[in-house]
Amino acid sequence: MLIVDGTDPELVRNILETELIFTEERHGEGQGIFETMGTFAPAFGMIGTLIGLINMLKELEDPSTVGPNMSVALITTFYGAVLANLIFLPVANKLKGRSKKELAKKEMMVEGLLSIQAGENPRIIEEKLKTFIAPQFREREAAMESEE
């Protein structure tokens, strides 16, 4: 809408880049939560293990309780490691990847819109926007165009 209204290209660029910055910050907050949870989960597992060992040692006079109490103590370490490495850290990495893709798309849109506003040749705009795409995808796109 800003471009249609004839807004100064530099102002349009500043507004869109500011939006990109805040989008990246918002995404970083969600990633940070899962990274923190992934970092702390093993530590909480170890705390559970220590509590379980204390309970085991508290009832040491009854040998039949040693096994069950030890298993409870050790399972908390397992839960901490599983939560960190199979849930929290993979989710954080997935969010990072999706954020990176979204920001790249938006950056490409900004560049394309500003090039259109500047009245650049469509072929030049196409070449500019191709730089945002990995070479193997450019080749695949060229092959698809030649088939048409």
Domain range enclosing 15: 9-100
Whether 119 maps to a domain, the answer reads no
The pLDDT, as a whole number, for residue 138 is 75
Whether 60 maps to a domain, the answer reads yes
Average pLDDT over residues 97-107: 93
Structure confidence by residue, pLDDT tens digits, 45-91? 999 999 989 988 888 888 888 888 888 889 999 999 999 999 999 99
Whether 19 maps to a domain, the answer reads yes
Whether 64 maps to a domain, the answer reads yes
Whether 145 maps to a domain, the answer reads no
The count of domains in the chain is 1
Q: Rounded to two decimals, what is the model's pTM? A: 0.74
Whether 127 maps to a domain, the answer reads no
- What's the token pair of residue 78? 């397992």
Whether 143 maps to a domain, the answer reads no
